[in-house]
Structure 1
Amino acid sequence: MARAIHKLSARGSEALTAVGRHSDGGGLYLSISANGGRRWVFYYKWQGKQREMGLGSAREITLKRARDLAADARKSISQGIDPLAKKAADAKAVELEAKAKPVPSFGEAADRLIESIEGEFRNKKHRDQWKMTLGDTYCASIRHTPTNELTTEDILGVLSPIWRPKQETASRIRGRIERVWDAAKARDPDKSRWTVNPALWRGNLEHVLGKRTKLQRGHHAAMPWREVPAFFQKARGFESSSQLALAFLISCASRSGEIIGAIWSEFDLAKKIWTIPAGRMKAGREHSVPLSDTALSILAEMAKIAPGDADRHSAFVFPGAKKGRPLSTMALTMRMRALNAGHFTAHGFRSSFRDWCGDATHFPRELAEHALAHIIGNAAEQAYRRSDALEKRREMMNAWAQFLTTEPH
């Protein structure tokens, strides 16, 4: 008489808690250990000896799947094949097949990594920066090379031309290349094909490229703070979207992207506060900007230039030439050039503001850093995120506005 099979039910097997083996028939058992472990096991005799083959954790393998695996094992026995030997052979075949696959090119590995870490990016701009820096703009010479064949010389070919003029960018690219290489190696079952990461800094590139300078502002050239009022008043005196955007950027000490992406719903004009959502901030954290009367007057002028936009919460405060689109960052650069200040950058006005705070005022350093939405030390950060911090920053921004609007001597 054939042995009964399928003795257990799905719900019943899940309810079992007694330590020991619980038979489903046909050699299949649910094994429960003293520490609560639950696994499926197939017992059979091979050449007169009792053998045991694990089928996997009961938390991952369903009863139905365990029965299918047990049925495959019984079929192998009927064909004169040892199920354990077949399992080992199948695993070896899968391993050899994986090892036979070519290592992806650096470009393929980079694209795959960017896709896999999608959740780490603060916003679309952050993701686009990764794609650009690991794309043809900087890495064209290595994108078609198998990742495991990259050499230190290959990495130097990417970094050396930009290490001095663009150290911040070069440093980020180096770190990203290192991460792409590590990720590609982690995915490869054949680690013997890999040596040492050629983009490593310590003990490797540090001996060739040399140390970075502590701060490099060459690509964010800042106007001396004493010259800013005259420039601000010149920018303030012309009613165009791009020029008023530049004046607003200076008055709020904000980043270009924060300005050109601003929409009317972010502003509470009655409370004189501009709240920038976390998704638009570099640090990924919501930031409130207290608005001076000078900044409010610029917003009032923009409402006159585009009167319909001020009533539409989702409309851009500084609209571009195309309907429904904001200004481009290049628009601010072009306006700087038109005002004979093309050797400075719009972003540099943040440094001008910071220097003014340090050289001409008694406002605490931490307050200025918080106004710039910089992440500061834990204790100081907590102090300047209290409810009264906004009013302290309001006092500072009002003083900045007064400085900007005072006639130069």
Structure 2
Amino acid sequence: MREINKLTPAEVKARTQSGNLSDGGGLLLQVTKTGGKSWTYRYQLNKVRRDKGIGPYPTFSLAQARERRDELARLVKRGIDPIEHHRDALVQAAAATAKRVTFATACEAFMAVRSKTLKTEKQVKSWDRTFALAGKVLKGFYVHEVSRQHIVACLEPDWIEKNPTAVENMLRLHALFKWSIVRFELGGANPASIPELEQLLPKVTKNTDENEGDADDGRASLPWLDLPACMTKVRADRTMEAQAMEFIILTGARLEEALQLTWQELDLTAKKWTVHKSRMKAGKTQTVPLAAQAVDLLKALPSYNSGEPNPEGLVFTAQRGGKVYGAALLKLLRRIGYTVEQVTTHGMRKSLRTYLGEVLKVREEVAEAVIAHDTRSRIRKTYERTRFYDERIDLMTKWANYTDERIAKVAKLPKHAA
């Protein structure tokens, strides 16, 4: 066994000659020509000799240098290179330091980017207020330390009394943390993830809904069982108002949406009708799938002009030109035998909605989307961008086939509807 601890503190202090002085076990005292002294640990691993610096003398005394040598020797015995081990430790320390991003720092960096997309100074101040409010809870935390419970604590004070503001703040915090996790390479889940927060925060019941008001407003509607017979009477009338009524029944559209329809909104090849948000009650663009019956109806209209309609021209035009008015459709219903107590134009939408729910058992959010309603919470609307268009294609075809007596008579209804 090699001799170790050969040096004494006096020898180390007195040494002035340049060169290496061995204490044994790989510990060397290196003396420079100018008299400077430092400790080095010399070792061999995988048949390669390497020197690992320990530190200067007298910052590191002889006893301290020996302790450090013994630590490094234990690493070598385990097959770990002390130099690589030290480098890994530095990398880990740097990574830990990089994660120490305060909430305030993240907000400042995020707003430097986000403010460029905001149109007014008022909007910038609104975002700043959101983060200042959250800062009352989060100011003492690094971003990677913030938990979902911390975000809940930020939102709860206003969640019931000022819900629209609280929801807006939640969406902004979601955006901030999503961006910060990527920007600062923090990893982990977003503590402001919206679906999870929605589960933790109390459900807020609104007295009114932006899309309600025509779902159950007392306007008469036919039972869905009577729609095929009604459609047969409508088609037999053959007037322009009858064709407009047929279109309303087939699409579930509101009266004015149908009567103000222009050809530029239609794509008959793709079988869809896109109603701009400016014409929608809820102020959101709606894309309506067109069943084959609806496409055939449109192509048979005079304004279709053999496939070359005027894009800005009305689809449904009165006999002497111009718009077809809603009063004409009401007269149509009376003319074909229905009283005001039995059905209204708007009531056709109710019949469709009832059929979707009672016969086809369609999920509520999908059935509501068919008639351009959206009963989902504001939160769900934010992260669920879909309006279930693909599902609605099949539903509108089934509805059109059902209202067509020629098809309905030979079609087999579901057992619970038959």
TM score, norm. by length of structure 1 = 0.44
Q: Structure 2 length as normaliser, TM-score?
A: 0.43
Max Rg structure: 2
